[in-house]
Homo-oligomer: A and B are copies of this chain.
């Protein structure tokens, strides 16, 4: 595999920029300055350090501080310049024949205050407005090119989960098993870094935990937490030894060429108690229900409510997606270059599904003191409902004890 295999085609960038420009014009924004690394990669095909100016009409200008030659090799945009200081951005915009924007869009959901103030002092006559929701709405609907990259990532998710039976043995610590599985993921080209947009959120590969440790809640907006290796991290695998007859959750994200596949499977050394087997089967039933009714036009918040109602009906209301007052109020999320993309299948969400959206659907039961069962697959929204991008069977994998 060559490191420059995945150069985003020029036509892809054109479509994305065009969609964004339509959105800017609708919102009365004259131009946007993209600075966040993931959005920059989405619109410019490079994550080198720089600034992308997208006027409401006309060609985008990619200004690169570091590393210019690398950005030139990666980006299929036409207008790429080397720039030593953001103070010169207004000059570049004017040189291209644009007026400076009266209303300038920026990513105010992620941009730190001090950096914002720097741009505010550079664009003294502009009002800076938030275009992050507009960007996220565009990014939520994937092109065929992106869907293929997501299929590639999902195939790697299957491969990683498929490797678990070879590595899982009684008495190994969660963290040891995690390390070996991660090494295998790396050998397949996993990029390591898993991007999350929500400030203060982070994830290291995912959640590999067993038995009661998997049911330990954490700060993260996720149904599962985990003990983690220390209070600074506070999630994920810890030093607990994996035992027989307990569910081993392997909820890992495969990050390939920027795109993420979110995937959970349950393993066990020896049989699991019936209670857990039944709960898992109930979660698979919920997944099948959603696959049918999550069609274009379905409202994301209503899908969440339907899943909650179904879990309650099946007797799992108390432990569905966590336990207690602060359990998370979502059952699935969009995924792409970031793990927390639109749409959110979450309480109160009004966004309707559209063909080409990608949803990591994760009905899970968290039984305090016992463990976690359930499923997660990354799906494509099609005209007839959800199509899983993954191939591996959803059932619990029981290994000889």
Contact = CB atoms under 8 A, between A and B. Distances in A.
Contact of A231 (B74, B183, B230, B234): B74
Interface in A180-202: 180, 182-187, 189-193, 199-200, 202
A47 interface: yes
Copies of this chain, count: 2
Question: A-side binding surface: helix, strand, loop or mixed?
Answer: loop
B67 A326 contact: yes
Contact of A46 (B1, B67, B114, B234): B234
A176 B186 contact: yes
A218 B67 contact: yes
Q: How large is the interface on A (under 10, 10 to 19, 20 to 34, 35 or more residues)?
A: 35 or more
A3 B193 contact: no
Contacts of A5: 230
A327 to B, nearest CB: 9
A337 B231 CA distance: 12
Contacts of A231: 3-4, 6-8, 41, 45-47, 74, 258
A400 interface: no
B219 A192 contact: no
B337 A232 contact: yes
Nearest to A67: B217
Nearest to A50: B219
A293 interface: no
Nearest to A48: B219
Quick one: which of A184, A191, A231 has the most chain B CB within 10 A? A231
A301 interface: no
9 contacts: A1-B229, A3-B227, A3-B240, A173-B187, A175-B186, A179-B183, A182-B186, A191-B233, A230-B258
